[in-house]
Amino acid sequence: MRLRELVVLLLVVAGARHAGAQQEHPVPQEEVVKPPATANTSKDFVRFAFNFYSQKDGGGNPHLEEDMVVLEPQVLVGQRLSDRWFGTLKVQSDIISAASVDKDNRFPPGTQSGASGDKYFGVEASGFYAWSDQTTVGGGLSLSTEYDYTSAGGYFRWTHDTVSRNDTFVVRVSAFFDTLDLILFDGTEPGTDTRQSFSLGLGWTHVIGPRTLGTLNWDLTTQTGFLSTPYNSVVAAGTEVQEILPDTRLRNSLFGRVRHLLFDDFAVEPGLGVYFDDWGATAFTTEINFAWEVLPGDLIIRTGYRFHSQTEVDDFVPDTAASIPEFRTQDSDLADFTSHTFGLKFLLPHPKFIGDQHEVELGVDYTFRSDNLDAYSLTLGYQWRF
């Protein structure tokens, strides 16, 4: 864009914002209806969810069996600790079974263990403090462990509403310090290594109109350390070698959504996102979600469609390559592909058969991927407010 166009654009926006600001005035807090940018935390609650994920290997990496099943139970407890403090505790676990064995019999029978698996256990404790009527600060600490991976992390979040409650700004910084036990594709174990990840996230939610909200998120992540997946290998030029990727990565993502109440009982939310990183990958995502209040207060149906397209990282090596470069990967998730995801969820916000303070939800997602690594997931959720 030319500089002159940019200046004109900024002047127009500034003028319009100034005109809008002239109409704003401070309002007593009891009159304010806050836009629902986040889940309601006005009551104590406990929420359970059970997720089932299944991935079918219909393609992907021709040298690796990529079938996978994950069971993930989750628990989240929210407790008001005082007039200004609110705390949450999240516990979740993954029970993973995956084939992860060679698909083309490169290894003699009996030298690989066959189907493999892993277990993940993570806990995150957070606290939020209402600094003022407009500002909330908070943060949390997390710990997780897997068979060959441990992680310690933390985050800080600052949320600020403008006086008019028409804009909410969020700044979030987070860090993860991870340790990997290196177990390579051929069973060798050369020791341990570390991975550090630091993120900055900026969010802006804006009330566009009495029936319309918009939100924009920008996330910047920088990573250093061992960024490959230890057990991944690369098969090319008549040999099989360990995956090796650069030890730094800078990742950018920008995502915008607008939610509009189209009819009295029907909301629509289109969204658009772009991503790029210095490994040479770019991605484009667009989605549209719908929420239909079928029975007011009793049944909400949410459905959605998501399209995702990504390019492969620069170091992706086809198995037809004549030589093995210094950096190389054949990870299907770092390859070029497109995907289509369809989702459907039934939400009972106040089911009469249990009681008004309970909530039940049931959801299903199905993803079609152009490399035939299709997947589906089922979710069953329950919340008790007290």
Partner 1 sequence: MRFIRFLGIAGILCLGACASVEPDEKEDLARRIMQLDANELETSYQNKVLFSREVSGGKPGHSAGGGCGCGN
Measure the CA–CA gap between 166 and 20, rounded to whole angstroms.
11
Query: Minimum distance between the CB of residue 265 and partner 1, rounded to whole angstroms?
Result: 7
User: Cβ contacts of residue 36 below 8 Å, gap of 6+?
Assistant: none
Nearer to partner 1 among residue 144 and residue 235 (C-beta): 144
Considering only residues 284 through 313, tell me which ones interact with partner 1, judged by CB under 8 A: 285, 291-293, 300, 302, 308, 310, 313
| Interatomic CA distance for residues 68 and 262, integer angstroms | 39
Q: Where in 20-39 is the site for partner 1 (CB under 8 A)?
A: 20-21, 23-24, 27, 31-39
Please work out the total of residues on this chain that contact partner 1, with binding judged by CB under 8 A. 120
What separation in angstroms does the CA of 163 have from each of 13, 21, 368?
Answer: 20, 11, 45
Beta-bridge partners for 304: 289, 343
**Part in contact with partner 1 (CB under 8 A); list of ranges 14-22, 79-87, 103-111, 130-138:** 14-22
The nearest distance, CB 104 to partner 1, in angstroms, is: 23
Identify residues 268-287 at the interface with partner 1 (CB under 8 A): 269, 272-275, 277, 281, 283, 285
For the chain, the 3-state helix, strand and coil shares in percent, each to the nearest 5, are 5, 60, 35
Asked if residue 348 binds partner 1 (CB under 8 A), the reply is: no
Stretch touching partner 1 by CB under 8 A, among 104-112, 133-141, 256-264, 318-326: 256-264
- Residue 242 in contact with partner 1, rule: CB under 8 A: no
- From the list 207, 223, 185, 246, the residue with the least C-alpha distance to 61 is 185
Binding residue for partner 1, selected from 100, 159, 180, 317, defined by CB under 8 A = 180
Q: What angle do CA 342, 314, 257 make, to 5 degrees?
A: 35
String of contacts with partner 1 for each residue 198-227, x by CB under 8 A: -x-x-x-xxxxxxx-xxx-x-x-x-x---x
Question: Would you count residue 374 as binding partner 1 (CB under 8 A)?
Answer: no
Q: For residue 315, give the DSSP letter.
A: T
Shortest distance in whole angstroms from residue 149 CB to partner 1: 3
| 44-63 residues near partner 1, rule: CB under 8 A | 47, 49, 51, 53
Q: Which residues pair with 120 in a beta bridge?
A: 94
For residues 338 and 14, is the Cβ–Cβ distance under 8 A? no
| Cβ-based nearer residue to partner 1, 57 or 94 | 94
**Which residue type sits at 141?**
L
> Is 19 among the residues that bind partner 1 (CB under 8 A)?
yes
In the complex, what is the shortest distance from the CB of residue 188 to partner 1, in angstroms, rounded to a whole number?
Answer: 18
* Nearest by Cα to 246 from 223, 221, 219, 276: 223
How far apart CA 227 and CA 153 sit, in angstroms, is 17
Q: Which is nearer to partner 1, 53 or 106 (CB)?
A: 53
Tell me the closest approach of the beta carbon of residue 27 to partner 1, in angstroms.
Answer: 5
CA proximity to 232, closest of 370, 341, 330: 330
Instruction: Look up residue 328 and give its DSSP letter.
Output: B
By CB under 8 A, name the one of 174, 233, 242, 330 that touches partner 1: 174
Smallest distance from partner 1 to CB 44, Å = 14
Q: Would you count residue 141 as binding partner 1 (CB under 8 A)?
A: no
